[in-house]
């Protein structure tokens, strides 16, 4: 899935990266994922539009699963799964 489609995934943890600029949202995600177990889902809230391109790229490079992103107004919400590489 990519854009808004089915119900949002249930996240194990949430990172608030609103008003942070690239690459800080990604660095916050990276830091949060270190304390998580494989298969757990992280929800990311952000406002930097670059996340739409950077988060899937980061997941691909580092072997995590990218579940998709939704945008409401300026706010983006995205979901990633730790350690589950490959296209979802």
The footprint of other proteins (CB under 8 A) covers 18-19, 21-24, 26-27, 30, 47-54, 57-58, 60-62, 74
26 three-state secondary structure? helix
Give the nearest distance from C-beta 49 to other proteins in angstroms. Answer: 4
Smaller CB distance to other proteins: residue 10 or 72?
Answer: 72
* 44 or 51: CB nearest other proteins: 51
Closest C-alpha to 68, from 32, 44, 36 = 44
Pseudo-torsion of CA 17, 22, 27, 30, nearest 10°?
A: 80
**Active site amino acids:** 22
């Amino acid at each position: 899935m990519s854009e808004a489609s089915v119900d949002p995934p249930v996240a194990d943890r949430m990172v608030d990266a609103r008003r942070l600029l690239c690459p800080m949202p990604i660095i916050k995600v990276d830091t949060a994922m270190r304390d998580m177990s494989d298969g757990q889902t992280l929800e990311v809230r952000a406002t930097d539009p670059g996340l739409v391109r950077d988060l899937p790229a980061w997941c691909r490079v580092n072997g995590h699963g990218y579940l998709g992103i939704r945008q409401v107004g300026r706010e983006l919400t995205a979901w990633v799964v730790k350690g589950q590489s490959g296209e979802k």
